[in-house]
Amino acid sequence: EPEVTQTPSHQVTQMGQEVILRCVPISNHLYFYWYRQILGQKVEFLVSFYNNEISEKSEIFDDQFSVERPDGSNFTLKIRSTKLEDSAMYFCASNQGAAGYTFGSGTRLTVV
């Protein structure tokens, strides 16, 4: 079964450093997303991406965040200057239709 692949599974970074989280969505999907889940809290939407541009973003997705699809397969989330409160699980998802949302296993980001 097709899956969304995320790397790395765990990233530890120092406060103020830049991190790039990587995702390979399902190949024939056209919409891509990043979600975040702080420990013990709900899964929160960050951004959606379609046709090489952001289609929607939440208030969480400020200037410190950016997304990119550098080639035909990868989809990345960059955090320019990490803060302690950025520590969370970050999930990439892609979809084709409402029943077709598929999430990756996530990257656990720890900012120290």
Partner 1 sequence: QKEVEQDPGPLSVPEGAIVSLNCTYSNSAFQYFMWYRQYSRKGPELLMYTYSSGNKEDGRFTAQVDKSSKYISLFIRDSQPSDSATYLCALPPNAGGTSYGKLTFGQGTILTVHP
> Contact region for partner 1 (CB under 8 A) — 13-21, 60-68, 77-85, 95-103?
95-103
> Contact region for partner 1 (CB under 8 A) — 14-22, 61-69, 70-78, 87-95?
87-95
Paired strand residues for 44: 36
Please classify residue 27 by burial: count the beta carbons closer than 10 Å to its beta carbon, then call 0-12 exposed, 13-18 middle and 19+ buried: exposed
Any residues with CB less than 8 A from the CB of 101 and at least 6 apart, and which?
93, 94, 95
Is residue 108 close enough to count as binding partner 1 by CB under 8 A? yes
Q: Report the interface residues with partner 1, using CB under 8 A.
A: 4, 30-31, 33, 41-45, 48, 50, 55-56, 58, 89, 91, 93, 95, 97-106, 108
